[in-house]
């Protein structure tokens, strides 16, 4: 299929996990892919090769999404090399889980900076090009815990709830200029991030999911294709839960 043919998608934190799958799935739909991650490593190089072999233009960029100046620089570079920024997927994120009584200031600040400030950084840098184009789709990776909270994840949940407020505000500010902004709230998705959890915790999560399985990165990527493509041309300011029915 070619739902995204001719569009350039920028995906942050895409060297592995959900971001990597989004990059591959969007390339399958014909999008050119500019992706970022913290450093140029084997993961980044192999993804770049895989995407180029699919016949689209693709390039990986080393950049810390939580750094404002670096982000502005990398988005300008992407615009120069690719000619447009049509889809922005703010995917980069980290967890530093611990109970509030043990959470120090540094752990709080780090999660808010990487998960929430990065979304501001990339959206701010990309919107100037989207405004000129009078089109764009911004997709922000929130989480079910940003909607409902979770013990042991006060920092992470707060960052993901912040993303939802940001997403809705941007939808209201930029909608009249043809720019859409939506959030995805994945539930329990099987990636490196969740593999770190002890097995009993993972099994407990799965028991609470009506579809009785963890999600796959492909499940999330499919939602990104919908939100990035013209199939969702009348959808903005929404939070799409991709959670097997968990948040119902
Ligand atoms: P992951 O840990 O497998 O991959 C995250 C990627 O982001 C890594 O490649 C990492 O190097 C990159 N990254 C981290 N900090 C960065 C920074 N400052 N700048 C640029 N890149 C950075 O995580 P996963 O599971 O693929 O998660 C992707 C997104 O989905 C995250 O925002 C996460 O919070 C969200 N999410 C994941 C869920 C899950 O169950 N795995 C559930 C709900 C949301």
Instruction: Determine, yes or no, domain membership for 150.
Output: yes
Is the separation of the CB atoms in 36 and 13 below 8 Å?
Answer: yes
Residue 232: predicted pLDDT: 98
Instruction: Determine, yes or no, domain membership for 100.
Output: yes
Residue 42 has pLDDT above 80, yes or no: yes
Instruction: Determine, yes or no, domain membership for 246.
Output: no
Cβ neighbour number for residue 149 with a 10 Å cutoff:
13
Confidence of residue 22 (pLDDT cuts 50, 70, 90): very high
Residue 1 has pLDDT above 90, yes or no: no
Instruction: Determine, yes or no, domain membership for 215.
Output: yes
* 106: containing domain: 8-241
Instruction: Determine, yes or no, domain membership for 247.
Output: no
- Reading the block at residue 58, the tokens are 């693709």
Residues annotated as part of the active site: 156
User: Hey, which of 48, 68, 93, 240 would you mutate to test ligand 1's pocket, going by the most ligand atoms within 8 Å of its Cβ?
Assistant: 93
Helix, strand, or coil (residue 99) = coil
Mean pLDDT of the chain: 97
Instruction: Determine, yes or no, domain membership for 118.
Output: yes
Instruction: Determine, yes or no, domain membership for 248.
Output: no
Cα 22 to Cα 80, 94, 96, 109, 136, distances in angstroms? 23, 17, 24, 27, 17
Query: How many structural domains is the chain composed of?
Result: 1
Is the separation of the CB atoms in 61 and 38 below 8 Å?
Answer: no
Q: Name the helix (H) or strand (E) containing 89.
A: strand 87-90
Q: What is the pLDDT of residues 97-118, one digit of tens each?
A: 999 999 999 999 999 999 999 9
Instruction: Look at the block and give the residue holding tokens 């903005």.
Output: 236
Q: Return the residue whose CA atom lies nearest to atom 34 of ligand 1.
A: 93
Mean pLDDT of 108-135: 98
Residue 197: predicted pLDDT: 83
According to DSSP, the residues that pair with 180 across neighbouring strands are: 137
Instruction: Determine, yes or no, domain membership for 155.
Output: yes
Give the Cα separation of 94 and 115 in Å (integer). Answer: 7
Q: What is the pLDDT of residues 201-232, one digit of tens each?
A: 888 889 999 999 999 999 999 999 999 999 99
Is the separation of the CB atoms in 38 and 64 below 8 Å?
Answer: yes
The domain spanning residue 99 has which CATH number? 3.40.50.720
Residue 165 has pLDDT above 80, yes or no: yes
Mean pLDDT of 43-57: 98
Confidence of residue 195 (pLDDT cuts 50, 70, 90): confident
Cα(91) to centroid(ligand 1), Å: 6
DSSP 188: S
Give the Cα separation of 25 and 72 in Å (integer). Answer: 26
Q: Specify the ligand 1 atom closest to the Cα of 18.
A: 26
Cα(93) to centroid(ligand 1), Å: 4
Residue 24: predicted pLDDT: 98
Q: Name the helix (H) or strand (E) containing 137.
A: strand 136-141
Q: 191 CB under 6 A from ligand 1?
A: yes
Instruction: Look at the block and give the residue holding tokens 């919908």.
Output: 226
């Amino acid at each position: 299929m070619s739902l995204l043919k001719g569009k350039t998608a920028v995906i942050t934190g895409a060297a592995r996990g959900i971001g990597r799958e989004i990059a591959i799935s969007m390339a399958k739909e014909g999008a050119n892919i500019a992706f970022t991650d913290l450093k140029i490593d084997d993961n980044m190089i192999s993804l770049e090769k895989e995407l180029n072999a699919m016949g689209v233009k693709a390039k990986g960029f080393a950049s810390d999404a939580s750094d404002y100046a670096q982000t502005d620089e990398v988005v300008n570079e992407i615009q120069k090399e690719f000619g447009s920024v049509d889809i922005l997927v703010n995917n980069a994120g980290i967890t530093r889980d611990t109970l509030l009584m043990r959470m120090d200031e540094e752990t709080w600040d780090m999660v808010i900076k990487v998960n929430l400030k990065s979304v501001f950084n990339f959206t701010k840098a990309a919107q100037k090009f989207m405004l000129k184009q009078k089109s764009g789709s911004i997709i922000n990776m929130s989480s079910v815990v940003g909607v409902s909270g979770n013990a042991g994840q006060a920092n992470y949940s707060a960052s993901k709830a912040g993303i939802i407020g940001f997403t809705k505000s941007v939808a209201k500010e930029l909608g009249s200029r043809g720019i859409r902004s939506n959030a995805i709230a994945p539930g329990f998705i099987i990636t490196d991030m969740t593999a770190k959890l002890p097995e009993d915790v993972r099994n407990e999560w799965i028991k609470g999911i009506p579809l009785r399985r963890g999600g796959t990165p492909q499940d999330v990527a499919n939602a990104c294709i919908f939100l990035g493509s013209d199939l969702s041309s009348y959808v903005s300011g929404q939070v799409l839960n991709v959670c097997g029915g968990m948040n119902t």
